[in-house]
Each structure stands twice: as structure tokens, then as C-alpha cells.
């Protein structure tokens, strides 16, 4: 199984890359996570938020692996406990499919990305900085994996 974490935003601070890298390297080969960074759509006086989100959505749709099942991270999605994520991760692994997890830009995900998702996952009702979301997601995936393999990390 491969999980592709598709995130809008590039040029992350060192602490984000270090935090993400720490958990990514802990995951075994049978649960690899590939980070795909996409540029922000242009925002400013001459470009609307809608146009920026549309461009981000197009880039995101192009980055989703052929045949991947899609999970959107969305504040309006369903909150999962760590144990629920572990059950989901186990189901994902048993399905034999690959997954793309989508993290939108500052204005969220484009409507077509949300429509494509088979599930919408909310990390929190809080608004979280996008760089931090990457670290939270990879850490939770590692934690879920550790639960499935009775590793003491979760304790």
C-alpha cells in the first residue's frame, strides 16, 4: 500500500520538514507515504480566491494516482479517533488499494476535490496551519501503524 499525501504549499520551514521526515522514516516499506507538494494558486489584487482554488484543485486532481482512493482532509469532515484511524489504516492495507490524502491551501480544497473524496476527515474543528497539518497527519499514521503492530509508541 502506498499513501500519497498531496498538500498545497511548498518551501516549508525546516522544522516542518524535520518533523515530517522523522515520522515518515519510521513507517515501514509496506506503508510508505509519499509527500507531493503543490504550489499555491496565485492570490492578489488581480486574481480571485476562486481562481486560485481552481488552479490548486486542477493540480491536485492531476497528482492523484491512477486508481487511488481519495480521502479529503476537511474541517467539515468526520473526526476520527486514533483508534478509528488505525482501523481505517488496517482496512486500507487489506483492500490492496493505494490512497491519496488531500490537504488544501489556505482557503481549503476545491469543490471537485471534495466531490471526488470517498471520505472527509477532520483533524479538528480548529483552524490549523497547513504546515502543521502535514506533521499531524504523518504522526497519526505512524501512531495508527504502531497500534496495529502492538508497538509501545502509542502508550
Binding residues: 73, 104, 123-128
Cell numbers describing residue 11 = 518551501
Give the dihedral sign, CA 44/47/50/53. negative
- Taking alpha carbons only, the member of 44, 61, 54, 83 closest to residue 4 is 61
Annotated binding site for S-adenosyl-L-methionine: 73, 104, 123-128
Euclidean distance between CA atoms 46 and 25, whole angstroms: 41
Euclidean distance between CA atoms 51 and 56, whole angstroms: 9
| Phi/psi at 5 (5° precision) | -95, 105
Give the dihedral sign, CA 54/60/64/66. positive
- Ramachandran region of residue 67, left (φ > 0), alpha (ψ -120 to 50) or beta? left
Amino acid at each position: 500500500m502506498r499513501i500519497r499525501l498531496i498538500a498545497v504549499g511548498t518551501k516549508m520551514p525546516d522544522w516542518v520538514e524535520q518533523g515530517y521526515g522523522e515520522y515518515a522514516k519510521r513507517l515501514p516499506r509496506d506503508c510508505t507515504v509519499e509527500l507531493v507538494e503543490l504550489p499555491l494558486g496565485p492570490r492578489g489584487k488581480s486574481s480571485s480566491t476562486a481562481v486560485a482554488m481552481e488552479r490548486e484543485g486542477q493540480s491536485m486532481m492531476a497528482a492523484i494516482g491512477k486508481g487511488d482512493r481519495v480521502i479529503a482532509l476537511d474541517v467539515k469532515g468526520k473526526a476520527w479517533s486514533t483508534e478509528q484511524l488505525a482501523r481505517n489504516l488496517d482496512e486500507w492495507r487489506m483492500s490492496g488499494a493505494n490512497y491519496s490524502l488531500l490537504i488544501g491551501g489556505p482557503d481549503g480544497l476545491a469543490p471537485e476535490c471534495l466531490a471526488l473524496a470517498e471520505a472527509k476527515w477532520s483533524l479538528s474543528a480548529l483552524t490549523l496551519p497547513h504546515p502543521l497539518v502535514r506533521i499531524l497527519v504523518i504522526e497519526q499514521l505512524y501512531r495508527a501503524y504502531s497500534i496495529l503492530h502492538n508497538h509501545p509508541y502509542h502508550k
